[in-house]
Chain A
Amino acid sequence: MQNDNLGVEGDGIYAALMAAHQGLTEAESHALNARLVLIMANEIGDGQKLKTIFSTAGQYAET
């Protein structure tokens, strides 16, 4: 997962993601994140790619 697909738009996208969470309680933010994951998974739509994403993200879990 060494590719950078966001490029110069990265800062703006990050800010938009933070803005989406603005003013939400922690529970509401969790729910929003769940919806985001589901919708993004549908947009990516490639089972193999998604499994790689899930395991890559999992590797960075705090232990």
Chain B
Amino acid sequence: MPYDYKPFPYIAPPGLTGPEPRHAVAIIGAGPIGLALAIDLATKGVSNVVLDDNNVVSVGSRAICWAKRTLEIFDRLGVGERMLAKGVTWQVGRLFYGADEVYAFDLLPEDGHKYPAFINLQQYYVEEYLIDRARDFPDLIDLRFKNAVTDHQDRGDHVALMVETPDGSYQLEAQYCVACDGAGSPTRKRMGLAFEGQTFDEHFLIADVEMDDSPFGTDTPERWFWFEPPFHNGQSALLHRQPDNIYRIDLQLGPETDPKSEATEEKVIPRIRAMVGDRPFRLDWMSVYKFRCAKLDQFVHGRMIFAGDSAHVVSPFGARGGNGGIQDVDNLGWKLARVVQGQSDASLLDSYDQERRHCCDENILNSSRATNFMTPKSPIEALFRQEVLRLAHDMPFARRLINSGRLSMPGSLAGLPLQTANTAPIRPGTAIMDAPLANHVWLLDAVQGRFVLTGFGNVALPDIDGIDRIGIEQAAQNYPVYDAIDNLALDRYGADIAYLFRPDGHVAAAFFDPTPQAVAKAYARACGKIDGDV
């Protein structure tokens, strides 16, 4: 069944009839990034208004591949389990060169993690679940559809936004405004900000088809990738499965392509037919696109903040767009909440800019490398790729050189100023590594969302204002204590050691001897007091 796009109701905003009280945070864009940020802020008690020029979820599946770290963040926001239940968890990948299978791999999930390496789930479901979840906070999240921001002004101590609705225009004010308005960000364009990087000339066709009959010849969802596919006169093809028997097909079309004539059923149906044979299918959605890797020089401009595609775009290989954007939200949410609630100086937001640009550079590097492998620019590049593919039949090192996208991994913040360096098994800056605890609790559940000093094994935890404590494999304490399942938590984190987790689940510091002074200093640093004065 095709997805049922139900329009969300437009409700005339109060600003049309009189001035609204100043909002804490205004979010432009109700895509996955804007909605996730709205929920993240609401979980911290920060009210916000979300302004979207449209009134339906994403048309077409668009972002479909959600990585483990993203699912863990979505878990904290309250939609992770629903996404996992609906999404397709695939394990087997096959790589073909021409008609020959070069190799297959089985992503056997490591035991002891709540979420798998990734799932496939259409963006429209993700947005639907996020909107459902946002409705759990009617006093904190004000969702306004058909409210298009047409102008804004940063007035130093607040931002004023001009908003157009079907009933006319109005103005609203907010302490901060976060632009989550996508790759073509009108906010970014209005501000005239440079958005530079590498542009690729290659065109890609992306299509969703509904098929009852699995093209994989098995009920197990797989992911098939071809270089120089036999059924398509182009460099590459990709086939993988989404929920509802929808299959995603990506075909590389080459640089000399007219996107308008390619994005027609007359052109697309035969291409799909060549790929899936005579299985009946229904074309659900298609798009022909080019892409680039680009980013803003700064993600924070006074009281205007950029997150997601408005701040950075990458090629789709590696699924680093949506996943990168959700990690932006994870990083920004707690910092913006602290600043708005007066717990930290506005300078804490500079660390969002620094940390996420650092991760963005890594995403762009990986994405550009994958794109270069997939689009050889000269005969010699094509030759090297061809020989890599030949060697890959037998040689593991060559398999690793085949680059059809390096899947989004959580960005490491090691070495950046908010972290206190340490030689602990999990280095400060690393994102939380999940582990199972007794009574169906995951380390994720116990740690994410606030500052938590977590003691693994026999280590005494000081009581510091602003920090929660939990113990793992500890005797009873005046804070929650959990047993570890199969000792995995201690295997992963070490024994007799304490870790300070940030609200976004990154390790801020680790302590073999957590004195009150050392913990307080690391906490102050993690909140932006870099000089460490407490």
Please report A residues at the B interface, Cβ cutoff 8 Å: 30-31, 34-35, 37-39, 42
Residue of A nearest to B388 (CB): A38
Flag if A34 contacts B387 (CB, 8 Å). yes
Q: Interface size for chain B: under 10, 10 to 19, 20 to 34, or 35 or more residues?
A: 10 to 19
Q: Tell me if A's interface is mostly helix, strand, loop or mixed.
A: helix
Question: Closest CB-CB distance, B376 to chain A, in whole Å?
Answer: 12
User: 5 pairs across A/B with beta carbons < 8 Å?
Assistant: A30-B383, A31-B386, A34-B380, A34-B387, A42-B397
List the B side residues contacting A35 at CB < 8 Å.
Answer: 387, 390-391
A39 shortest CB reach to chain B, Å: 7
B384 CB–A CB distance under 8 Å: yes
Give the chain B neighbours of A30 by CB distance below 8 A: 380, 383
A39 touching B391, Cβ below 8 Å = yes
Bound CA span A53–B387, Å: 20
Q: Residues 443-467 of chain B: 1 if any A CB is under 8 Å from the residue's CB, otherwise 0?
A: 0000000000000000000000000
Task: Kindly list chain A residues whose C-beta atoms are within 8 Å of the C-beta of B384.
Answer: 34, 37-38
B:253-303 near A, CB below 8 Å: none
Question: Which A residues are in CB contact (< 8 Å) with B397?
Answer: 42
The residue of chain A having its C-beta at the shortest distance from the C-beta of B387 within the complex is A34
**Chain B residues closer than 8 Å to A34, beta-carbon distance:** 380, 383-384, 386-387
Q: Is the interface of B mostly helix, strand, loop or mixed?
A: helix
Alpha-carbon distance A27/B324, docked complex (angstroms): 42
Decide if A38 touches B383 in the complex (CB within 8 Å). no
Cα–Cα, bound, A32→B398 (Å): 15
Counting CB contacts under 8 A, is B416 at the interface?
no
Complex Cα–Cα for A30 and B401 (A): 19
A42 partner residues in chain B, CB cutoff 8 A: 395, 397-398
Cβ contacts under 8 Å, B391 to chain A: 35, 38-39
* Chain B 378-400 interface mask (CB, 8 Å, partner A; 1/0): 00100110111011000101100
CB-nearest residue of chain B relative to A37?
Answer: B384
Enumerate chain A residues within 8 angstroms of B387, measured Cβ to Cβ: 31, 34-35, 38
Tell me, in angstroms, the Cα distance from A31 to B398 when the chains sit together: 15
Docked complex Cα distance between A39 and B388 (Å): 10
| CA A3 to CA B397, docked complex, whole Å | 27
Q: Please report the C-alpha to C-alpha distance between residue A38 and residue B388 in the assembled complex, in whole angstroms.
A: 8
Within the assembled complex, what's the spacing in Å between the Cα atoms of A31 and B388? 10
CB distance from B377 to the nearest CB of A (A): 16
Which 8 interchain pairs have the tightest Cβ spacing?
A: A34-B387, A42-B397, A35-B387, A34-B384, A34-B383, A31-B387, A30-B383, A31-B383
Are B401 and A38 interface neighbours, CB within 8 A? yes
